[in-house]
Structure 1
Amino acid sequence: MMLDRPWKPDAVLRMLAGVMLGWSLGILVGAVLGQWLHPEAPHTIRFYHFVITTVSLHGVTLVLAHQLLRQHQVCWRDLIGWAGPGLGRALGLALAAGLFMTLGALLLNKGSAWVLEQVRLEPTEQPTVKLLQLTVGWGQRLAFGLGAIVLAPVVEEILFRGVVFGFLRQVFRGSVAYWASALAFAAIHMNLLTFVPLVFIGLVLAWVYERTGRLVAAMLTHALFNAVNFTLLSFQHELTQWLELWRDRI
């Protein structure tokens, strides 16, 4: 099982350093680009900034992950675990965990918002969420959808569960690997409102990976969660109208 195969510490550290460097350069390029675009188009600026930072983080992660696998003589199929007996059972568990994780994260998000209000801090959504709520064009919505439902679950699970959690699991005993990888996963999103829900999500995804031994299961759980949130954010007006119409008919 890939989860039990050891990662070389120096190779993992080089990969993580490269990921952080690529992400930082993406943020810098996005900020510079924002100075060149017309200020009367803030949504366009934010969208291009989203594309640049997403490509820099996820693209660099995939390239460095490929190098890491070559150093360990591991193929992508073994890392992701999309073949072999028990795949159907693992995916079924992933779907069930996705539903549980979605409900739990929504409740924790509401609780986090209430706590922030009690300490006189304004609950602020992630910049990506704000941008998606303001996006009207279908081209940009499609880009967001592909990024959220396909790219992010694949790349983030490779990085945080496949590499970070897997490496910490071979170094530390007990729950350290769970909590450390979940805290890192939440911290990289840089949002106070969603920090606790994201820690919870990180814990569930690590459990799915360890329980099934298949990274593809954690990817599916992650994708289901993102798909639900993307649908709610993208079609909240249409969903509200549909619910009101349904309520009037009852």
Structure 2
Amino acid sequence: ALLMGLGCLGLAAYGLDKWFGLEGSDGRRFVISMASTFMFQGLVLVLVQRFLRENQLAWSAAFGLRHPRWGRALALAVGAAILTVPVNMSLMWLSQRLMEWQSLEPVAQRAVEVVQTSTRVDQKVLLGCLAIVTAPVVEELLFRGIFYPAIKQAGYPRLALWSTALVFAATHAHLPTFLPLTFFALVLTFLYEYTENLLAPIVAHSLFNSINYLWALLASQVS
């Protein structure tokens, strides 16, 4: 299975390379990164589906997608995303100052750099789809939908809350955003607990990423 996955990844990267006509190390690195990310997300969805089937659960029942108060859940999701943005910006500023105090240079995320500097529309569209559509769905299924309730039901609610938040932030592999993303993950978990509907953190996550994506695009236009 591992060899098959690596083979598929190689074929996908090669195909995208030819399709988009990317040349140079930066272009190929972008293609390989996108291919591996989308394949990983697809694998997560397959594993979640298998987990639900083995436990005889429907998606709606497992993640509260048919909760009767879904309209309220969506409204809370929008409010949470909007209110979280200024807090996260403040935490980002604090993280950057702390890094500078430790003689560390804060650098932008690779995805943000591509959005701000790339002249290729297809690259920006792919990153937009990743940030706004696929990443929120997959990450919320994994962290809030699977890991958090599993650890909590094992009798460790505090461990569930903090471990999923910290691991969520760590998986983004970007030191300046570690503190803001930890806070954001806590907000998403509380939102899921309060609404009992995974659609709420998915929508909040998507809207939050949309705001940051548009912010990066506007910054590239201004510069």
State the TM-score, normalizing by the size of structure 1: 0.78
Report the RMSD for the aligned CA atoms in angstroms. Answer: 2.7
Equivalent runs, 1:198-237 vs 2, <5 Å: 198-237=181-220
Shift of 1:45: 1.9
Is the contact made by 1:46 and 1:131 (CA closer than 8 Å) also made in structure 2?
no
C-alpha separation in 2, matches of 1:102 and 1:73: 38
The residue number in structure 2 matching 1:70 is: 53
Is the contact made by 1:157 and 1:219 (CA closer than 8 Å) also made in structure 2?
yes
Equivalent runs, 1:27-38 vs 2, <5 Å: none
C-alpha separation in 2, matches of 1:84 and 1:151: 22
Q: 1:97 aligns with which of 60, 76, 80?
A: 80
Alignment pair present for 1:157 and 2:157: no
Query: Bigger shift: 95-104 or 205-214?
Result: 95-104
Is the contact made by 2:115 and 2:220 (CA closer than 8 Å) also made in structure 1?
no
**Alignment partner of 1:175: what SS?**
helix
C-alpha separation in 2, matches of 1:48 and 1:71: 35
**Alignment partner of 1:193: what SS?**
helix
C-alpha separation in 2, matches of 1:156 and 1:146: 14
C-alpha separation in 2, matches of 1:25 and 1:183: 28
C-alpha separation in 2, matches of 1:145 and 1:217: 20
Letter in 1 for 2:86: L
The residue number in structure 2 matching 1:136 is: 119
Is the contact made by 2:52 and 2:58 (CA closer than 8 Å) also made in structure 1?
yes
C-alpha separation in 2, matches of 1:237 and 1:126: 14
Q: 2:103 aligns with which of 120, 128, 133?
A: 120
C-alpha separation in 2, matches of 1:96 and 1:25: 41
**Alignment partner of 1:189: what SS?**
coil
Letter in 2 for 1:57: F
The change in CA–CA distance for 1:136 and 1:148 in structure 2 (over 3 A counts) is same
C-alpha separation in 2, matches of 1:203 and 1:177: 11
Is the contact made by 1:97 and 1:221 (CA closer than 8 Å) also made in structure 2?
yes
The residue number in structure 2 matching 1:12 is: none
The residue number in structure 2 matching 1:194 is: 177
Alignment pair present for 1:47 and 2:30: yes
State the TM-score, normalizing by the size of structure 2: 0.86
**Alignment partner of 1:153: what SS?**
helix
Shift of 1:84: 3.7
Is the contact made by 1:149 and 1:224 (CA closer than 8 Å) also made in structure 2?
yes
The change in CA–CA distance for 1:171 and 1:236 in structure 2 (over 3 A counts) is same
Alignment pair present for 1:88 and 2:102: no
Is the contact made by 1:25 and 1:56 (CA closer than 8 Å) also made in structure 2?
no
C-alpha separation in 2, matches of 1:162 and 1:229: 24
**Alignment partner of 2:173: what SS?**
coil
The change in CA–CA distance for 1:174 and 1:55 in structure 2 (over 3 A counts) is closer
Deviation per CA, 1:187-208, whole angstroms, max 9, x where unpaired? 1111111111111111111111
**Alignment partner of 2:107: what SS?**
coil
C-alpha separation in 1, matches of 2:23 and 2:200: 43
Number of aligned pairs?
Answer: 216
The change in CA–CA distance for 1:211 and 1:108 in structure 2 (over 3 A counts) is same
Alignment pair present for 1:175 and 2:158: yes
Q: 1:185 aligns with which of 162, 168, 180?
A: 168
Deviation per CA, 1:21-61, whole angstroms, max 9, x where unpaired? 79x959x959x97xx99996233123202212211321110
Q: Calculate percent identity across the aligned residue pairs.
A: 36
Is the contact made by 2:115 and 2:124 (CA closer than 8 Å) also made in structure 1?
yes
